[in-house]
């Protein structure tokens, strides 16, 4: 299969990222000759086990943790489920979960299913967000109770990029003896973090969001936090997660974490500058367009813009013609009847939610690409508005 990646202007990095060439290089030996099982007694396997430990160190260095706190999983979703279910089993007498209305489906649907499967033994408080996508701390404080087993709040939102004050929220939870989990798949590698200084008990991250392959994730569990495994099985990962290690991907994730550390400055300077220029350019050149989400408390790479009176799927397919890749919160792109739950929770009107486009950049984007998108977008929107019976040109 040929994908012509060099032709594509890829601004959909919150969906998935390009595997860094350095990561591919690091992985190759483990897809070819170094195929030993890390658990084996012989040196042929044992040396692979050593490489896995090296990757663990690289992950730990990026998030400021100890290697003993890193458990490799298959994806962000597995890490999320493991953390929540572990906390509920650790505190069987507690029946309350606090989360937000803008969580990723990995948390949203897990909480929903928990209610259903246990006959509503568990009560879930889902915090509202303001119209800019931020959380109200007073309301969060109110929601915490003696019955709360765990809080799960994403570090940064995948659709808007809005960053939540998880450091502070974790401390507030800890003061009340409540465990704190954060789904940080969008935040890791984009914003600096030092978990050894924070009160976060569980953190999920995913390889393919930071230029490692799909199918590998990490659950960070703070030392001393009660833990119950989700996947029972062999003694891999210190018994915390059964199943033979996805060695090549783990090695790739380790290398990707090392690269992310090196690129963090660039992400926050050059990528942010490109994002800002794209955003300001689009808002200025397209009438009736608006930004979704807080302008400041946001990931450096993400912008979510609504173009009123046009439909997101139609916009994306026009962009596709120019090989520009992005995402939309419109109903048609998901196959359901409703636009994105995140934009609805923020109170974005349907007329705007249907026409929302998320651009998410990476270090592989260039200024020329931003110029190209800035040149192509206004005519695409204008063309679709020409078709729209609701658009009245001023």
Partner 1 sequence: MWEYTDKVQEHFLNPQNVGEIENPSGVGDVGSLACGDALKLTLKIDDDERIVDAKFKTFGCASAIASSSALTIMVKGMTVSEAEKVTNDDIADFLGGLPKEKMHCSVMGREALEAAIADYRGVILPMAEGEVVCECFGVTDLDVIRAIKESDLRSVEEITNFTKAGGGCGKCEDKLRDILQATTSDTTVKPVQVDGPKRMTTLQKIKKIEEVLEREIKPALKKDGGDIELVDVDGDFVMVSLRGACTSCAKSQTTLKEYVEKKLRELVLDTLIVEEAK
Catalytic residue list: 332
Residues 129, 132: Cα–Cα separation, whole Å: 8
Within 8 A by CB and 6+ apart from 160, the residues are 102, 133, 292, 293, 294, 298, 302, 304, 342, 346, 358
Structure tokens at 246: 């996805």
Residues 69, 27: Cα–Cα separation, whole Å: 23
387 touching partner 1, by CB under 8 A: yes
Q: What is the DSSP letter of 12?
A: B
345 touching partner 1, by CB under 8 A: yes
Identify whether the C-beta of residue 195 lies closer than 8 Å to the C-beta of residue 63.
Answer: yes
Of residues 183 and 237, the one with the C-beta less far from partner 1? 183
Number of H helices, E strands in the chain: 13, 13
Residues 292, 144: Cα–Cα separation, whole Å: 28
Stretch that binds partner 1, among 29-37, 229-237, 238-246, 330-338 (CB under 8 A): 330-338
Stretch that binds partner 1, among 7-15, 35-43, 151-159, 317-325 (CB under 8 A): 317-325
Coil/strand/helix, residue 349: coil
In the numeric block, the tokens 């984007």 are attached to 365
Least distance in angstroms from the C-beta of 154 to partner 1: 16
43 touching partner 1, by CB under 8 A: no
Residues 269, 238: Cα–Cα separation, whole Å: 39
Q: Please provide the distance, in angstroms rounded to a whole number, between the alpha carbons at the two ends of the chain.
A: 47
Candidates 41, 138, 337, 393; binder of partner 1 (CB under 8 A) is 337
Least distance in angstroms from the C-beta of 40 to partner 1: 42
Of residues 280 and 386, the one with the C-beta less far from partner 1? 386
288 touching partner 1, by CB under 8 A: no
Of residues 114 and 264, the one with the C-beta less far from partner 1? 114
Residues 243, 214: Cα–Cα separation, whole Å: 17
Candidates 128, 145, 244, 366; binder of partner 1 (CB under 8 A) is 128
Candidates 95, 214, 344, 376; binder of partner 1 (CB under 8 A) is 344
Candidates 2, 7, 321, 392; binder of partner 1 (CB under 8 A) is 321
121 touching partner 1, by CB under 8 A: no
| Contact letters for partner 1, residues 44-83 (x by CB under 8 A) | ----------------------------------------
Residue 248's nearest CA partner among 7, 22, 51, 20 is 51
Contacting residues toward partner 1, per CB under 8 A: 101, 108-109, 112, 115-116, 120, 124-126, 128, 309-311, 313-314, 317-318, 321, 330-332, 335, 337-338, 341, 344-345, 350-351, 354, 386-390
């Amino acid at each position: 299969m040929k994908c012509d990646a060099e032709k594509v202007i890829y601004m959909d990095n919150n969906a998935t990222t390009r595997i860094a060439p350095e990561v591919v290089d690091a992985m190759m030996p483990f897809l070819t000759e170094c195929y030993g099982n890390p658990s084996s007694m012989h040196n042929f396997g044992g040396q692979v086990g050593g490489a896995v430990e090296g990757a663990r160190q690289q992950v730990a260095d990026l998030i400021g943790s100890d290697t003993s706190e890193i458990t490799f999983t298959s994806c962000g979703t597995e890490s999320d489920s493991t953390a929540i279910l572990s906390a509920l089993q650790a505190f069987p007498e507690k029946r309350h979960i606090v989360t937000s209305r803008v969580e990723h489906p990995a948390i949203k649907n897990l909480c929903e299913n928990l209610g259903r499967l246990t006959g509503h033994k568990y009560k879930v408080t889902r915090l509202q967000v303001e119209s800019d996508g931020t959380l109200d701390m007073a309301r969060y404080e109110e929601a915490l109770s003696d019955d709360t087993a765990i809080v799960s709040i994403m570090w940064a939102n995948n659709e808007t990029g809005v960053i939540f004050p998880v450091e502070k929220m974790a401390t507030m939870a800890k003061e009340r003896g409540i465990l704190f989990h954060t789904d940080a798949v969008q935040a890791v590698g984009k914003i600096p973090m030092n978990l050894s200084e924070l009160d976060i008990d569980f953190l999920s991250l995913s390889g393919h969001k930071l230029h490692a392959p799909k199918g590998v994730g990490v659950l960070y569990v703070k030392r001393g936090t009660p833990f119950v495994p989700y996947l029972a099985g062999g003694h891999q990962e210190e018994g915390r997660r059964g199943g033979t290690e996805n060695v090549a991907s783990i090695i790739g994730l380790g290398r990707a974490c090392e690269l992310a550390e090196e690129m963090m400055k660039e992400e926050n300077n050059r990528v942010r500058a490109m994002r800002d220029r794209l955003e300001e350019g689009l808002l200025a050149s397209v009438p009736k367009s608006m930004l979704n989400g807080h302008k400041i408390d946001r990931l450096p790479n993400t912008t979510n813009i609504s173009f009123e009176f046009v439909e997101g799927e139609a916009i994306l397919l026009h962009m596709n013609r120019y090989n520009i890749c992005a995402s939309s919160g419109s109903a048609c792109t998901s196959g359901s009847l409703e636009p994105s739950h995140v934009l609805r929770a923020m109170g974005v009107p349907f007329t705007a939610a249907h026409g929302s486009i998320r651009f998410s950049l990476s270090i592989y984007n260039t200024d020329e690409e931003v110029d190209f998108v800035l040149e192509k977008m206004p005519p695409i929107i204008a063309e679709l508005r020409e078709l729209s019976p609701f658009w009245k040109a001023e």
